[in-house]
């Protein structure tokens, strides 16, 4: 056990040993003053079915590791005492629910609940008629400082509707290997989000307003199999997106707006019945795919209706940027995935006649028929 603690604590004295004294409390002795500085309580890998009562104060603990046990529940009273905890790791247990008092952990930044039996996450309860029931209910959605949430390998069927409204600091959201049929509409409000992993679920559609995730760099919605059949047009407005995995779904058409994903350097669409663009173009290179989709986006017919609504938004989000100049070597030539050169912007490669097709006057002015000659 000493060896395991040394590995987790990297040999530093800030790892609080789990005491074997009466009541399971922390050891007391001549080093009490040193224990005030101790930060981490490591109770991982002890094959515990329940958490022993801890008689000491937990207010100084910043990291609590309860992973790799057999816990079926965590006492509400214990969580409420972790006033300064920043990292809470309860992965690989038998938890069927999380204590609602987890919402009082106002300093919590990293929460790992993966590898449990959770069917839902704590959500704010609706206010009742009586004053007692109108009091604020602690919930996961109240963790405003949370930056990373890992809920992989559970049995989640849905996420709290208000998750995106409250978790405004969240940078990484990982909910793969669950039973989710959708992501909450509030997901589009997680403007600090950098990575979203929702693979291996039953997701049927991505939320509207996806273009609001201006900092999103990695998106993985692969292996939702026959459930996920289309992608939102707003996907092309994710100007920071670098990695996109949509493999093993039932997507036959990529949105034309994806032709504007200038920073995308890793893309996988294997296992989809793609017809537009054809799979041979997708497999050729990212540059070829973007060129194909861009030409469709600037076309006529069915796509013209979408173009009128989305082109102004692409301009707003700087999708067409002067920084995308032709002839510049890509910084990602050696990255994994398709090798590619920088995307050539319309401003840098199109002819004047072609650019005139994108004139606001042409796009948004009412059609005028040519005069008839008698």
pLDDT in tens, 277-308: 999 999 999 999 999 999 988 874 344 445 55
> For the chain, what are the domain ranges?
2-21+33-121+138-364
End-to-end CA distance of the chain: 99
Q: Which tens digits make up the pLDDT trace of 148-195?
A: 999 999 999 999 998 999 899 999 999 999 999 999 999 999 999 999
Q: What is the DSSP letter of 189?
A: G
Q: What percent of the chain has pLDDT over 70?
A: 65
Q: What is the pLDDT of residue 101?
A: 87
Q: What is the pLDDT of residue 16?
A: 54
**Between residues 74 and 32, the one the model is more confident about:** 74
- Mean pLDDT of the region 103-123: 94
For residue 140, pLDDT beyond 90: no
Q: What is the pLDDT of residue 167?
A: 92
- Mean pLDDT of the region 267-271: 96
Q: Which one, of 166, 96, 170, 110, lies nearest residue 138 by Cα?
A: 166
Q: What is the pLDDT of residue 293?
A: 94
Q: In sequence order, which residues have a C-beta less than 8 Å from that of residue 121 and are 6 or more positions away?
A: 98, 140, 151, 156, 159, 160, 163
Q: What is the pLDDT of residue 166?
A: 87
pTM: 0.72
- Mean pLDDT of the region 45-68: 93
Q: What percent of the chain has pLDDT over 90?
A: 58
- Mean pLDDT of the region 259-265: 96
Q: Which of 15-29, 104-118, 312-326 has the highest mean pLDDT?
A: 104-118
- Mean pLDDT of the region 199-206: 97
| Dihedral angle computed from the Cα positions of residues 166, 170, 175 and 176, in that order, rounded to the nearest 10 degrees | 150
Asked if residue 111 lies in contact with residue 91, where contact means CB atoms within 8 angstroms, the answer is: no
Q: What is the pLDDT of residue 245?
A: 98
Q: What is the pLDDT of residue 124?
A: 60
**Between residues 141 and 355, the one the model is more confident about:** 141
For residue 310, pLDDT beyond 90: no
The CATH H-level superfamily of 2-21+33-121+138-364 is: Ribonuclease Inhibitor (3.80.10.10)
Q: In sequence order, which residues have a C-beta less than 8 Å from that of residue 178 and are 6 or more positions away?
A: 151, 152, 153, 154, 155, 156, 157, 200, 201
Q: What is the pLDDT of residue 318?
A: 57
Task: Check residue 110 and give left, alpha or beta (phi > 0: left; psi -120 to 50: alpha).
Answer: beta
- Mean pLDDT of the region 223-233: 96
């Amino acid at each position: 056990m000493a060896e395991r603690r040394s590995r987790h604590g990297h040999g530093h004295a800030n790892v609080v040993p789990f005491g074997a004294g009466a009541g399971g409390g922390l050891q007391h002795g001549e080093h009490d003053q040193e224990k005030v500085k101790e930060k981490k309580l490591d109770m991982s890998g002890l094959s515990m079915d329940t958490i022993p009562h801890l008689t000491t104060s937990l207010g100084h603990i910043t990291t609590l590791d309860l992973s790799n046990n057999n816990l079926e529940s965590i006492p509400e009273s214990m969580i409420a005492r972790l006033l300064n905890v920043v990292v809470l790791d309860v992965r690989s247990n038998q938890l069927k629910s999380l204590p609602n008092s987890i919402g009082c952990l106002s300093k919590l930044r990293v929460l790992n609940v993966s590898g449990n039996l959770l069917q839902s996450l704590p959500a704010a309860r609706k206010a009742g008629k009586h004053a007692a029931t109108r009091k604020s209910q602690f919930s996961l959605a109240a963790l405003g400082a949370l930056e990373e949430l890992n809920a992989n390998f559970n049995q989640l069927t849905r996420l709290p509707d208000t998750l995106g409204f409250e978790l405004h600091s969240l940078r990484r959201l990982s909910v793969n290997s669950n039973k989710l049929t959708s992501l909450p509409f509030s997901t589009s409000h997680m403007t600090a989000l950098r990575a979203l992993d929702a693979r291996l679920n039953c997701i049927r559609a991505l939320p509207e307003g996806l273009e609001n995730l201006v900092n999103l760099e990695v998106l993985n919605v692969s292996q939702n199999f026959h459930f996920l059949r289309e992608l939102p047009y707003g996907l092309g407005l994710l100007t920071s997106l670098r990695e996109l995995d949509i493999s093993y779904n039932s997507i036959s058409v990529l949105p034309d707006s994806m032709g504007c994903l200038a920073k995308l350097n890793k893309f996988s669409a294997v296992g989809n019945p793609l017809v537009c663009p054809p799979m041979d173009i997708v497999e050729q290179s990212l540059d070829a795919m973007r060129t194909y989709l861009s030409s469709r986006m600037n076309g006529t017919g069915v796509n013209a209706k979408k173009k009128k609504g989305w082109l102004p938004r692409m301009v707003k989000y700087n999708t067409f940027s002067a920084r995308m100049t032709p002839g510049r070597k890509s910084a990602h030539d050696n990255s994994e995935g398709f090798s590619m050169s920088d995307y050539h912007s319309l401003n840098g490669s199109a002819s004047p006649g072609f650019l005139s097709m994108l004139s606001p006057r042409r796009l948004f002015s009412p059609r005028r028929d040519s005069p008839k000659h008698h």
